[in-house]
Amino acid sequence: MSRQDEFANALMALDAPCPVGLFSSNGADPASRFTVYRNNVHSSLINALATGYPVTLQLVGDAFFRAMAGLYVQAFPPGSPLINEYGNDFADFIQGFAPAASVPYLADVARLERLRVKAYHAADALSLDQQAVITALQQQSTLGELRLQLHPCVATLDSAYAVVGLWAAHQTGESLATLNPLHAQSALVLRNGLEVKVFAVDSGSVAFINSLNNDWSMEMALAYALDAAAEFDLHQCLALLIGHGAITHLHTEQKVST
Partner 1 sequence: MMTLSSPHPTSQTQAPGLPRRAGLGLKNEHFTEVLKTLPDVGFFEVHAENYMVAGGPFHHYLGLIREQYPLSLHGVGLSIGGEGPLNREHLARLAMLIERYQPHSFSEHLAWSSHGPVFLNDLLPLAYDHEILNRVCEHIDQVQTALKRPMLLENPSTYLQFHSSTLDETVFISEVIRRTGCGLLLDVNNVYVSCINHQRDPMGYIDALPLHAVGEIHLAGFAEDTDSLGDRLLIDDHGAPIDNAVWHLYQQVLERTGPVATLIERDNQVPAFSVLHAEARQADRHLMAVDS
User: Where does this chain bind partner 1 (CB under 8 A)?
Assistant: 2-5, 7-8, 11-12, 21-34, 36-37, 40-41, 44-45, 48, 77-84, 119-125, 152-153, 191, 194
CB-count exposure of residue 82 (10 Å: 0-12, 13-18, 19+): exposed
Q: How far is the CB of 17 from partner 1 (least distance, A)?
A: 14
- Please report, for residues 61, 68, 187, 244, the alpha-carbon distance to residue 250 in angstroms, rounded to integers and kept in the order given: 46, 45, 24, 15
Q: One-letter amino acid identity for 24?
A: S
Closest contact distance (angstroms) between CB of 255 and partner 1 is 31
Which phi-psi region, left, alpha or beta, contains residue 173 (left: φ > 0; alpha: ψ -120 to 50)?
A: left
Measured from the CB atom, is 51 or 214 closer to partner 1? 51
Closest approach of partner 1 to the CB of residue 112, in Å: 18
Closest CA to 46 of 57, 35, 60: 57
- Report the nearest approach of partner 1 to the CB of residue 200 (Å): 23
Report d(CA 73, CA 229) in Å as an integer.
40
Beta carbon nearer to partner 1, 5 or 89: 5
Q: Of the two residues 194 and 230, which places its CB atom closer to partner 1 in the complex?
A: 194
The answer to whether 106 and 60 have CB atoms below 8 angstroms apart is: yes
Longest dimension (CA), the chain: 84
Q: Which C-beta is closer to partner 1: that of 3 or that of 183?
A: 3
Closest distance of CB 110 from partner 1, Å? 20
Shortest distance, position 99 Cβ to partner 1, whole Å = 25
> Residue 25 or 258: which CB sits closer to partner 1?
25
CB nearer to partner 1: give 41 or 136.
Answer: 41
Distances from the Cα of 120 to the Cα of 140, 204, 235, angstroms: 33, 25, 27
Cβ atoms 198, 164 nearer than 8 A: yes
